[in-house]
């Protein structure tokens, strides 16, 4: 599996660290909304098909990337910098 | 259906083996059942078997998308053990171990359960202390566990590199002698035959495409072979849990599906008479009765439904094998494959009523579902029949994640690829 890093170009998957589901919404740090925190920590979309996920090019430029990848074929459909990280709006 | 026995073997041998009957029927699905079990793998079939045997509920259908046993029950590396740290896991898996010990007699089907032991190797003093702690926790709950010295390990597994010059020297290990392996296909076929002869309909090539509802209640399923109604609908679909729950309108679960690879070498003379796990990486190996080495390692590490893995893990697994057994460096790999594992956020399973009225859920087996097959079905059947969990599966709820009651044997936190 090759992932195209926007800085470094196409690189082997072993250079990257998987950081999981990129659809999750992280509550504001001061949020006391337990349902939102529970959803952020434990709930996953887990689709069979296109999956929006976060990877880090830990063996390269160390940039965090937002990758759309198909979980049935392992085809990488798009990569971009994950600037902004996880979405920061609270769910409620 | 005939009993399998030495007498029936002899009789059929003398008559040219022409009179064997199929081990289970191929019925068309009826319009309705008391219970539908979705998933004809080990857990679904054992659930149907124990529903019929322990609870007298025989108007049951098992719906399987492909052919029987085509999923993880035929893809695992067949290890059976109950060497857990936390009491919730230990009690459940020890119940499973006790069912395994009588399974061939119970099913009248030889599942070739072989209690050859499972040895976890330790490579640092701290790891050996940790194993002593886990062994004590196991013995406290009546499960067998022994710490082994390097000399004892050397006698048990002569091919293992226990020299001080190994990359990760072996300092000892934790042995569960009652652990072992079984023939996984026979487990699926034995449970299928046992359920079928008690009246359960096993319907293959029948994919669930949606759920029937009456208000908020699940009242059946639509399938590629028509609509089927049932008072109770039970899910035992392992790696496909996310997909099937999405059909029921539940988009998020505390589960990620990951691919785990497994490997078999060419056949060798007997060389490894136990199940061995490496302590400095993720690697386990045993030898099948045919002589092939059966081994595997870590998950590929990213969400996947592909049932095939990628080469970096192949490379890692082979290097771990050669680190332990330098003498196996020239053994050829015969085949490899992947299975889709339903990894939960704490590494422990889910066997529960709900989450929708009329629905029952069995999932989250991570990559340890095979050893759980008997107890999983036994507890799930109890939960379906009584509408409440047995004490063995009461801790394995779906809402434990949101109530601070996680059962995280490895203490890894909510990162499923690390469990």
Asked if the model's pLDDT at residue A90 lies above 80, the reply is no
Structure confidence at residue A84 (pLDDT): 62
pLDDT band at residue B2 under the 50/70/90 scheme:
low
For tokens 């208000």, name the residue.
B215
Three-point CA angle B176, B177, B178, nearest 5°: 95
- Chain B contact set for A14 (CB, 8 A): 312
ipTM above 0.85, yes or no: yes
**Average pLDDT, stretch B177-199?**
96
Average pLDDT, chain A: 89
Q: With contact defined as beta carbons under 8 Å apart, do B236 and B40 qualify?
A: no
In this complex, how many residue pairs, one in chain A and one in chain B, have their CB atoms less than 8 Å apart?
68
Q: Which CATH architecture has domain B29-82+85-107+184-254+347-418?
A: 3-Layer(bba) Sandwich (3.50)
Q: How far is CA B77 from the centre of its chain?
A: 9
Q: Which CATH number fits domain B118-179+256-344: 3.30.9.10, 3.90.400.10, 3.40.50.300, 2.40.30.10?
A: 3.30.9.10
How many angstroms separate the Cα of B315 from the Cα of each of A14, A57, B261, B324?
11, 20, 12, 15
For B296-337, write each residue's pLDDT tens digit. Answer: 999 999 999 998 888 999 999 999 999 999 999 999 999 999
Q: Return the domain boundaries, chain B.
A: 29-82+85-107+184-254+347-418, 118-179+256-344
Q: Is B168 on the interface with A (CB under 8 A)?
A: no
**Average pLDDT, stretch A37-55?**
95
Interchain contact, A1 vs B256, CB within 8 Å: no
Write the DSSP assignment of A36-71 as a string of letters. HHHHHHH-B---SSEEEEEEE-TTTT--EEEEEEET
Q: Is B405 on the interface with A (CB under 8 A)?
A: no
Cβ-nearest to A71 among B253, B303, B402:
B303
Interchain contact, A48 vs B415, CB within 8 Å: no
Interchain contact, A43 vs B301, CB within 8 Å: no
- Chain B contact set for A43 (CB, 8 A): 252-254
What CA–CA distance (Å, rounded) separates B416 from B259?
Answer: 12
pTM for the model stands at 0.93
Q: Is B243 on the interface with A (CB under 8 A)?
A: yes
Taking alpha carbons only, the member of B104, B134, B102 closest to residue B118 is B134
What CA–CA distance (Å, rounded) separates B240 from B306?
Answer: 11
Interchain contact, A43 vs B253, CB within 8 Å: yes
Structure confidence at residue B416 (pLDDT): 92
What CA–CA distance (Å, rounded) separates B319 from B325?
Answer: 10
Least confident range of B296-300, B385-389, B415-419: B415-419
Interchain contact, B306 vs A38, CB within 8 Å: no
Cβ-nearest to B301 among A18, A48, A73:
A18
The whole-angstrom distance between A26's CA and the closest CA on chain B is 14
Q: Is A75 exposed, middle or buried (0-12, 13-18, 19+ CB in 10 A)?
A: exposed
Q: With contact defined as beta carbons under 8 Å apart, do A57 and A63 qualify?
A: yes
Structure confidence at residue B1 (pLDDT): 55
For A52-83, write each residue's pLDDT tens digit. Answer: 999 999 999 999 999 999 999 999 999 999 87
pLDDT band at residue B167 under the 50/70/90 scheme:
confident
Q: Is A53 on the interface with B (CB under 8 A)?
A: yes
Asked if the model's pLDDT at residue B64 lies above 90, the reply is yes
pLDDT band at residue B197 under the 50/70/90 scheme:
very high
Q: Is A39 on the interface with B (CB under 8 A)?
A: yes
For B209-239, write each residue's pLDDT tens digit. Answer: 999 999 999 999 999 999 999 999 999 999 9
**Average pLDDT, stretch B7-18?**
92
Taking alpha carbons only, the member of B319, B293, B397 closest to residue B78 is B293
Q: Determine which of B249, B255, B303 to mutate to test the interface with A (most A C-beta atoms within 10 Å).
A: B303
What CA–CA distance (Å, rounded) separates B368 from B349?
Answer: 9
**Average pLDDT, stretch B93-119?**
96
Q: Is A77 on the interface with B (CB under 8 A)?
A: no
Interchain contact, A71 vs B257, CB within 8 Å: yes
| Residues in contact with B73: Cβ distance below 8 Å, sequence separation at least 6, in sequence order | B41, B42, B43, B184, B185, B187, B188, B370, B373
Structure confidence at residue B3 (pLDDT): 85
- Chain B contact set for A47 (CB, 8 A): 242, 246
Taking alpha carbons only, the member of B373, B386, B385, B389 closest to residue B44 is B373
Structure confidence at residue A87 (pLDDT): 45
Asked if the model's pLDDT at residue B19 lies above 90, the reply is no
Q: Return the domain boundaries, chain A.
A: 2-81
What CA–CA distance (Å, rounded) separates B307 from B275?
Answer: 24
**Average pLDDT, stretch B82-102?**
96
For B117-159, write each residue's pLDDT tens digit. Answer: 999 999 999 999 999 999 999 999 999 999 999 999 999 999 9
What CA–CA distance (Å, rounded) separates B83 from B163?
Answer: 27
Nearest CA in chain B to A34: B402
Structure confidence at residue B249 (pLDDT): 93
Q: Which CATH architecture has domain A2-81?
A: 2-Layer Sandwich (3.30)
For B207: left if phi > 0, alpha if psi spans -120 to 50, otherwise beta; the answer is beta
């Amino acid at each position: 599996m090759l992932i195209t890093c926007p800085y470094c170009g196409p690189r082997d998957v072993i250079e990257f660290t998987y950081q999981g589901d990129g659809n999750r919404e992280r509550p504001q740090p001061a949020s006391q909304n337990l349902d939102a925190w529970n959803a952020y920590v434990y709930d996953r979309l887990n689709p069979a098909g296109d999956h929006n996920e976060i990877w880090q090019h830990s063996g390269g430029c160390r940039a965090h990337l937002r990758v759309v990848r198909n979980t049935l074929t392992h085809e990488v459909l798009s990569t971009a910098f994950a600037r902004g990280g996880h979405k920061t709006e609270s769910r409620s | 259906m005939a009993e399998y026995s030495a007498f029936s073997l002899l009789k059929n041998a003398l008559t040219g083996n022409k009179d064997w009957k199929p081990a289970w029927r191929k019925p068309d699905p009826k319009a309705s059942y008391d219970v539908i079990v979705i998933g004809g793998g080990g857990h679904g079939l054992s659930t149907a078997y124990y529903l019929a045997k322990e609870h007298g509920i025989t108007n049951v259908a098992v719906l399987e998308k492909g052919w029987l046993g085509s999923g993880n029950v035929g893809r695992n590396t067949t290890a059976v053990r109950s060497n857990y740290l936390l009491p919730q896991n230990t009690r459940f898996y020890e119940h499973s171990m006790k069912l395994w010990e009588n399974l061939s007699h119970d099913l009248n089907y030889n599942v070739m359960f072989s209690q050859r032991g499972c040895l976890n190797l330790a490579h640092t003093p701290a790891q050996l202390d940790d194993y002593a702690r886990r062994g004590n926790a196991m013995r406290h709950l009546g499960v067998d566990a022994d710490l082994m010295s390097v000399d004892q390990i050397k006698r048990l597994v002569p091919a293992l590199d226990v020299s001080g010059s190994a990359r990760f020297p072996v300092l000892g290990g934790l042995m569960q002698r009652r652990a072992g392996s079984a023939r996984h296909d026979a487990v699926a076929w034995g449970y299928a035959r046992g359920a079928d002869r008690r009246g359960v309909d096993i319907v293959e090539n029948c994919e669930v495409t949606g759920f029937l509802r009456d208000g908020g209640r699940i009242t059946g399923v639509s399938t590629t072979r028509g609509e089927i109604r049932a008072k109770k609908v039970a899910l035992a679909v392992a790696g496909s849990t996310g997909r099937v729950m999405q059909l029921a309108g539940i988009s998020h679960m505390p589960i990620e599906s990951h691919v785990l690879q497994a490997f078999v070498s060419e056949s060798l003379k007997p060389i490894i008479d136990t199940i061995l796990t490496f302590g400095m990486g993720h690697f386990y190996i045993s030898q099948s009765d045919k002589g092939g080495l059966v081994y595997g390692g870590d998950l590929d590490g990213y969400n996947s439904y592909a049932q095939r893995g990628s080469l970096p893990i192949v490379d890692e697994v082979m290097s771990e094998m050669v680190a332990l057994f330098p003498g196996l460096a020239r053994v050829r790999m015969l085949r490899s494959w992947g299975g889709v594992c339903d990894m939960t956020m704490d590494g422990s399973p889910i066997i529960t009523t709900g989450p929708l009225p009329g629905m029952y859920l069995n999932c989250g087996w991570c990559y340890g579902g095979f050893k759980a097959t008997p107890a999983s079905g036994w507890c799930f059947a109890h939960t379906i029949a009584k509408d409440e969990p047995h004490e063995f599966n009461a801790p394995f709820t779906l809402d434990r994640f949101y109530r601070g009651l996680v059962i995280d044997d490895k203490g890894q936190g909510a990162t499923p690829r690390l469990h």
